[in-house]
């Protein structure tokens, strides 16, 4: 009996409603007093329970004196409840979908191989609408040059940090990591870290390591886009500072300090 009451509760009936309905299944056409006596539902509560069951169309009141009650057949009741539940679910599905805003999912795409990575960088550059930020090394510049020129011909602003001694007009607003500083960067990171950002919306970060298959990730995840852009901007500012102060003056800030040497060069004594 208890497990049946639990099932009734699962479809919206109270414990007392389940007891009254099951009592009437066993002996119908009885009055409220008899229902209370046979079901165990207190007389002070039984008529309120009966009224709720009538409203739910689970039992029927007969016009006798006093009123007596019969249950709606089980099959009919179950079919009615199923139909009501289905209608409720359909309304909820329709109306909730109307207000639902799908969660943004920023997938991180993994790319492997030099050819595929270069192609993906070029595609991001060529499909930009407003601006491109690029941090790239001398070994990749020739492969990217035509795309960089096309970007600017299309009126897209380009900001570039290039790891090379050879100055060029092909990459827009350009800052340079000369070979003396780029060697420090490559040693610290253990790779040539290459970054392209399209319209502050999408970023590709690639690592080129000599003798290994290059790996890259590409994503629209806002925090990674922001982090990559801040990395490039910070590097550009350091180049401006070093040009203003001179490398010797700048290097004197950290040379001789073990902590700063480790931070700058990734070298521990």
Residues 66 and 165 both lie in one domain: no
pLDDT at 197 over 80: yes
Total structural domains in the chain?
2
Residues 157 and 217 both lie in one domain: yes
Residues 160 and 238 both lie in one domain: yes
Strand order in the sheet with 173-176: 108-112, 215-219, 202-208, 192-198, 131-137, 157-163, 173-176
- Provide the pLDDT for residue 149: 95
Residues 94 and 137 both lie in one domain: no
> Do the Cβ atoms of 199 and 158 come closer than 8 Å?
no
Q: How far apart are CA 201 and CA 224, in angstroms?
A: 10
Residue at which a domain ends, from 44, 74, 99: 99
Residues 199 and 144 both lie in one domain: yes
CATH code of the domain containing 182: 3.30.870.10
Residues 162 and 240 both lie in one domain: yes
Residue at which a domain ends, from 50, 78, 99: 99
Find the range with the poorest average confidence among 57-66, 87-96, 98-107, 184-193: 184-193
> Do the Cβ atoms of 218 and 204 come closer than 8 Å?
yes
For 27-73, what is each residue's pLDDT tens digit?
Answer: 989 999 999 999 999 999 999 999 999 999 999 999 999 999 999 99
For 202-261, what is each residue's pLDDT tens digit?
Answer: 999 999 988 899 999 999 999 999 999 999 999 888 888 777 777 777 677 667 777 876
- Provide the pLDDT for residue 183: 65
Range(s) of the domain holding residue 27: 2-99
CATH code of the domain containing 56: 1.10.10.10
Residue at which a domain ends, from 99, 133, 160: 99
Predicted structure pTM score: 0.59
Residues 66 and 146 both lie in one domain: no
Residues 80 and 122 both lie in one domain: no
């Amino acid at each position: 009996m208890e497990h049946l009451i639990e099932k009734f509760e699962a479809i919206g009936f109270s414990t007392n409603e389940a007891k009254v309905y099951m009592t009437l299944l066993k002996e119908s056409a009885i009055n409220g007093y008899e229902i209370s006596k046979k079901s165990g539902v207190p007389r002070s509560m039984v008529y309120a329970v009966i009224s709720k069951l009538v409203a739910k169309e689970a039992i029927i009141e007969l016009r006798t004196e006093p009123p007596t009650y019969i249950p709606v057949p089980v099959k009919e009741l179950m079919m009615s409840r199923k139909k009501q539940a289905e209608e409720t679910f359909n309304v909820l599905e329709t109306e909730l979908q109307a207000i639902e805003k799908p969660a943004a999912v920023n997938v991180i795409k993994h790319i492997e191989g030099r050819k595929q990575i270069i192609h993906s960088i070029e595609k991001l550059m060529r499909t930009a609408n407003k601006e491109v930020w690029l941090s790239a090394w001398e070994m990749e510049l020739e492969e990217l040059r035509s795309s960089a020129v096309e970007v600017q011909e299309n009126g897209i602003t380009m900001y570039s940090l290039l790891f090379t001694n050879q100055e060029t007009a092909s990459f827009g607003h350009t800052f340079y990591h000369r070979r003396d500083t780029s060697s420090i960067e490559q040693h610290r990171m253990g790779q040539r870290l290459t970054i392209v950002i399209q319209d502050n919306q999408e970023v590709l970060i690639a690592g080129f390591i000599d003798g290994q298959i290059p790996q890259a990730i590409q994503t629209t995840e806002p925090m990674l886009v922001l982090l990559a852009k801040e990395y490039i901007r910070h590097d550009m500012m350091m180049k401006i500072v070093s040009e203003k102060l001179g490398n010797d003056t700048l290097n004197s800030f950290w040379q001789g300090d073990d902590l700063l040497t480790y931070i700058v060069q990734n070298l521990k004594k």
